[in-house]
Structure formats: structure tokens, C-alpha cells
Structure 1
């Protein structure tokens, strides 16, 4: 399998995209495919540069056996369009923001189209409570699992609590 590079993008890179990066990285590791992927996340805005993910994203990931506490927020950079073969926006607003700064030929998609096949936006849970973060986790897990399968990898074994929804 050739090396595939994926960048997950949301607005501030503290809620949705760090969760997507963490979930996808975990699934790739479970499948024994670490050497086949480069995985990252970024935000369309730089308000949170250098900060860890929102504590609620860290907590929901941890409750499912995934540690994203070491990630740091960053704004998307011009070189990301060269370094990542697939850039997935969490919603249409971020996809539009990417479209305004991307060079011609950049492979930008909506997570809801590419990974879920539903065309849905992944809602921003920032202003809500824990249920919103659980919903986002569940949608991202479903999409990341599908994405890994679509990219030709064997489905990972669903051991542990990674696929559980509490």
C-alpha cells in the first residue's frame, strides 16, 4: 500500500479535527498500518495556535481509549496543500474557507461526503455540552472506519472500547 496523507480540518483545530486525527490514527495503529499513513489536523483560523485540544474532546477521546492530549492546534499552512494528498473539512463553512486559499488541484473534500457518504456537516460541539462531543465522536468514528476501509486497508479489529458508544 502506498503512503497516504490525510489532513482533517475544522475551524480552530481544538474540537472536531483533533478528534478525527486521533480516531483515524488509532484505527490505523489497530490495523497495523502506521507506516502507510501520514495523519494530521489543522484549523482554518489561528485563534488557538499552540493550544491543546478542548478538554471535552480530550475527555471523550480518553473515554474511548484514545489519547489526543499531546496534539497542539495550528492553522492550515500553504505547504499543507502540497504535503497532504487528501484534506477533509468538517463542514461546508470550513470547506469554503479552504477553497479560498487552496491552490488549483488541491484535493479538498467534505468529511460527510468522503468518509460518511451522507453529505452531512460534522457539527461544532464547542458551545454545547457532553452529548454534542459524544455525537461528534460517534460520527467521526463511523466515517474514519469507513475511510480506512475505502482506502484499501483491511478493517481493523474492533477490540477494546474504541468502537463503543457510551
Structure 2
């Protein structure tokens, strides 16, 4: 199986989407999926190179996720094209991505509601956001893996039918 790539998108790529990326990396590690899944994050209105917010860095460190090397990135057509699934933090982000990248609209999903933007808030609010994101990221990853397993099973069934009947469902004589 090729590595599946997940992209998380928010506004500035300094709070929600990098926290979601860090949580996804934690999920990948905890579920022994390194090499099978990869994740990244980006924003729609980014101050290029900005660091993750201080409070986001603190609350992610509290759960053993080091985000100190994160730098904000603007979402690009290449990122969208390479991603197998794109999770946004709001329906507004989803709508903006669909308008900017219509060819990739079928892979864009809202991660869940509500995902409040903790920007400028206190540590307690960041913890609340982190914990809410963790639930949503872990659930989304479980569902994405289930979808992939179903898709693989269907492909294997189609392949088996093709082998049984020769070609694409064979030549009926």
C-alpha cells in the first residue's frame, strides 16, 4: 500500500491545524502505522514561517508531542494534489479550499464541529481545543482507515471476479 497522506488546514497554520498534525502523528505512532500514513498542515491566510503559537506548543508538549520545529505554510495546489484526504477546521475553510482547488473537492472534509480557534486564548482554552481535536483526529483516522479497508476489499473482490470470469467479467458465451 502506498503511503496515505493527510493534510490539515486552518486559517493561519499556527494553532489548530498544526495541533491536528501533531495529534495525527501521535496516532500514527501509537497504531504502528509509520510508513503507511503521513500528515502535514497548512493554512489559508498565513504569515509564512510563523512559529506555532506559544500556548499550542506548551499544550502539545504536555502530551509528549514536540511541535517546536513547526513553521506556518500556505496551502498549495501541490499539497492538495498529493493529499489523499484533507481535513479542515471549519466549513468556511472547506468552502474556500473547494473554490481554490475544485479538482480536489472530493477529498476535502470538515474535521468536526465545533473546533474553536484558540488563538490568543489562555492555556485552559488551548487544552480544551487540543483534547477536542484529539477526539476528532483519532475518530477521523479510524474512519479513514475503515474506508480504505472497505475500498481494498472491494478492489480484491473485483479482481477475484475478473480472474474467475476472465477479463472484466469475462466473455459470456
TM-score by length of 1: 0.81
- Which of 134, 150, 164 is the aligned partner of 1:141? 134
- Distance (whole Å) between structure 2 residues aligned to residue 76 and residue 102 of structure 1: 10
Contact 2:81/2:104 (8 A) holds in 1: no
Q: Which has the higher contact order (CA 8 A, sep 6+)?
A: 1
- 2:35 is paired with a residue of what secondary structure? helix
1:105 Cα shift?
4.0
Contact 1:92/1:121 (8 A) holds in 2: no
For 2:71, the equivalent position in structure 1 comes to: 72
- Over aligned residues, Cα RMSD in angstroms? 1.5
1:104 Cα shift?
2.5
TM-score by length of 2: 0.78
1:73 Cα shift?
0.4
- Distance (whole Å) between structure 2 residues aligned to residue 152 and residue 137 of structure 1: 22
- Distance (whole Å) between structure 2 residues aligned to residue 131 and residue 52 of structure 1: 20
For 1:163, the equivalent position in structure 2 comes to: none
- How many pairs does the alignment contain? 145
- Distance (whole Å) between structure 2 residues aligned to residue 88 and residue 152 of structure 1: 14
Q: How does 1:4-43 map to 2 (within 5 A)?
A: 4-43=4-43
Larger Rg: 2
Give the structure with the higher percent helix. 2
Q: Give per-residue Cα distances to partners, 1:52-84, cap 9 Å, x unaligned.
A: 200110000001111111111001011112110
Runs of 4+ residues over 6 Å off in structure 1: none
- 1:104 is paired with a residue of what secondary structure? helix
